[in-house]
Amino acid sequence: MDISTRTSHIAYRLQENVEMSEREDGVAVISPFFQITIAPLSQSLRRILLLLADTTCSARQINTAIREAHEENMLTTFYRYLSSLLRHQMLFIYAGSEDRSTPLATLIPISSYVQHQWINVRAEQAYQMSRFAYIRRAEDGMSYLESPLAHARIRLEHPVTTQVIYHLGKAITPCELIQAIPEEEKDNLISVLALLVMGNFAAPTTPTGRLHEEEDETLQQWDFHDLLFHSRSRTGRHNNPLGGTYRFLRQLPPQPAIKQAPWPATISLPRPDRERMRSEDPGLEAVMEARASLRDYGTEPITLAQLAEFLYRVARVKEVYDDDDSGEFTVRPFPGSGASYEMEFYLTIDRCEGLQPGFYWYDPLQHALALIQESNKDTARLLYEAYQAMGAPAQPQVLITLAARFQRVSWKYQSIAYALILKNVGVIYATMYLVATAMDLAPCALGVGDSDHFTKLSGTNYLQETSVGEFALGSKPTPTSEIEEIR
């Protein structure tokens, strides 16, 4: 069977928000984001290029027109112009026969790094979808195929495209694909397959019957969700709005700078003597050198005064101020993205001299604790899971859970909100390590926690506020000679 992309239906057209006009120095192509000028062309080539602004032009039509103008030597140059339009996100590539009112699928560039490559689909070659490709419904109601390995997305315009993607879940040859979807003409199916390979959503299998990505040691070590999160929270592989866009300004009120807690803060914590701290604290260099994750604890537990000092130095509200457009903000001991300070501190107490076991919320403004639940099987489970995550000889005396009020960040930031929250977790971890080391306590950050179990204890909504980090704290089993020597 003769199957080749050269006879399939691949077409081009300018995007809706792009204009093209003739000038003395060439053809100007203008979008809301870019403007490029294509150097002077012959009248026939200029006419072909301008057609892209008004209609869909198949590769077959473009090639025929160039040959009829006896300018075959310009074929490569013309497609180089199309590649430039694609890189500047000005051009669509369609799959589907020329007589269709709508294409089967549309390849939409979302990055300036997109590559315009011509794909020759071979009848005997098996093809398969990448494990990183996924379909999602966007805000416009359309379904899109995306991948963190791709610099474009594909809009799914017809059910047959979804059928092709389904069958490519396993390695399949074009001949087998045509037999699996008999109601659609051969060239249409091959054009969809070519578009998937062109966009890096599918690929030919290797002689071993596997995709190259499955044999690549680097890609083997990437989980799907990790690579997707990385690619979508950095610039380069998407064109989503990104940064402090304030997309909900004047639509939704921002969350308050300080959580409006349903629990009364009834346990006032002592405030430490800051002059004493300044005189007794070891220097930063000594603290940095002595910092370590400690998973063992002393016979005598951490005291309420120590815990109060730790929270005061790490998490208290130092100042509240107002911004007319964005609402209230606070100043705290650690840096936070855009001064959002979305993080709430919850404490699960197992052993603390002067404080009964239970589950507490820290009020950073009042420097006080609110008891949410007394010690029970759920608090015991939280402590036990922390103990398992640490691989420690004993469960933590105090477990500090960091919970993010997500909309406090996403109200302002788009595409990077969760990435910023995780960076804030890292900043807080570092702050807690340094403070605990200076206080001669035993600190240990955890790598995992159960966010659903946290919401059961706190009564919060998983999508509004839940845990994003955990930190164990307790007394040290023995004095640290290194710290003691410099006190």
Judged by DSSP in three states, 366 sits in coil
Are 221 and 395 in contact by the 8 Å Cβ rule? The answer is no
Same domain, 96 and 176: yes
Question: Which amino acid is located at 246 in the chain?
Answer: Y
Query: Of 36, 41, 47, 48, which is closest to residue 24 (Cα–Cα)?
Result: 41
What is the mean predicted confidence (pLDDT) over 408-414?
96
Asked if pLDDT for residue 74 goes beyond 90, the answer is: no
Give the largest CA-CA distance in the chain.
Answer: 92
How many angstroms separate the CA atoms of 237 and 152, rounded?
A: 8
Query: Of 121, 150, 117, which is closest to residue 133 (Cα–Cα)?
Result: 150
Is residue 241 domain-resident?
no
Are 63 and 81 in contact by the 8 Å Cβ rule? The answer is no
pLDDT for the residue 97: 85
Tally of domains in the chain = 2
Are 213 and 149 in contact by the 8 Å Cβ rule? The answer is yes
Same domain, 213 and 251: no
Q: What are phi and psi of 284, to 5 degrees?
A: -60, -40
How many residues make up the chain in this entry? 487
Half-sphere exposure of 192 (CA within 13 A, CB side): 30
Asked if pLDDT for residue 311 goes beyond 60, the answer is: yes
How many angstroms separate the CA atoms of 192 and 151, rounded?
A: 17
What is the mean predicted confidence (pLDDT) over 342-361?
98
Question: Which amino acid is located at 47 in the chain?
Answer: R
Give the H/E segment covering residue 445. strand 441-446
Are 151 and 110 in contact by the 8 Å Cβ rule? The answer is yes
Is residue 113 domain-resident?
yes
Same domain, 210 and 252: no
Same domain, 436 and 391: yes
Is residue 208 domain-resident?
yes
Over pLDDT 90: what percentage of the chain? 82
Asked if pLDDT for residue 400 goes beyond 50, the answer is: yes
How many angstroms separate the CA atoms of 277 and 274, rounded?
A: 5
> What beta strand segments (E) does 1-122 contain?
10-14, 19-23, 26-30, 35-38, 57-58, 91-95, 105-109
Question: Which amino acid is located at 73 in the chain?
Answer: N
**Helices 186-198 and 159-167, packing angle to 10 deg:** 70
Same domain, 400 and 303: yes
Q: Which domain holds residue 125?
A: 5-232
Report the CATH number that the domain containing residue 476 is assigned in CATH: 3.40.109.10
Q: Look at the block and give the residue holding tokens 């420097």.
A: 367
Report the CATH number that the domain containing residue 133 is assigned in CATH: 3.90.930.60
Are 160 and 168 in contact by the 8 Å Cβ rule? The answer is no
Q: Look at the block and give the residue holding tokens 């404490």.
A: 347
Residues 6+ apart with CB under 8 A from 239: 89, 110, 111
Q: What are phi and psi of 81, to 5 degrees?
A: -65, -45
Over pLDDT 70: what percentage of the chain? 97
Is residue 53 domain-resident?
yes
Q: Where among 232, 255, 277 does a domain terminate?
A: 232
What is the mean predicted confidence (pLDDT) over 427-446?
97
Is residue 240 domain-resident?
no
pLDDT in tens, 188-211: 999 999 999 999 999 999 999 999
Q: Where among 232, 257, 274 does a domain terminate?
A: 232
Burial 284-317 (b: 16+ CB within 10 A, else e): eebbeebeeebbebeeebbebebbbbbbbbbbbb
Same domain, 91 and 135: yes
Same domain, 207 and 347: no
pLDDT in tens, 134-167: 999 999 999 999 999 999 999 999 999 999 999 9
Burial 96-107 (b: 16+ CB within 10 A, else e): bbeebeebbbbb
Q: What are phi and psi of 22, to 5 degrees?
A: -85, 140
Is residue 464 domain-resident?
yes
What is the mean predicted confidence (pLDDT) over 161-182?
96
Same domain, 351 and 472: yes
Same domain, 375 and 478: yes
Q: Where among 232, 256, 282 does a domain terminate?
A: 232
Give the H/E segment covering residue 185. none
Q: Look at the block and give the residue holding tokens 């420690």.
A: 392
Judged by DSSP in three states, 15 sits in coil
pLDDT for the residue 487: 46
What is the mean predicted confidence (pLDDT) over 112-135?
94
Same domain, 206 and 323: no
What is the mean predicted confidence (pLDDT) over 454-461?
96
Angstrom CA distances, 74 to 63, 86, 403, stand at: 10, 19, 61
Q: Which two tokens stand for residue 251?
A: 């639509």
**Helices 304-315 and 417-438, packing angle to 10 deg:** 140
Are 348 and 382 in contact by the 8 Å Cβ rule? The answer is yes
pLDDT in tens, 1-19: 445 555 468 999 999 999 9
How many angstroms separate the CA atoms of 64 and 81, rounded?
A: 17
Distance of CA 268 to the CA centre of its chain: 39
Is residue 238 domain-resident?
no
Same domain, 337 and 451: yes
pLDDT in tens, 77-106: 899 999 999 999 999 999 998 778 889 999
Per the prediction, the chain carries an average pLDDT of: 93
Query: Of 100, 82, 85, which is closest to residue 45 (Cα–Cα)?
Result: 82
Regarding beta strands 465-475 and 441-446, do their DSSP bridges make them parallel or antiparallel, or are they unpaired?
Answer: antiparallel
Is residue 251 domain-resident?
yes
Q: Which two tokens stand for residue 399?
A: 């477990």
How many angstroms separate the CA atoms of 96 and 184, rounded?
A: 10
Same domain, 402 and 309: yes
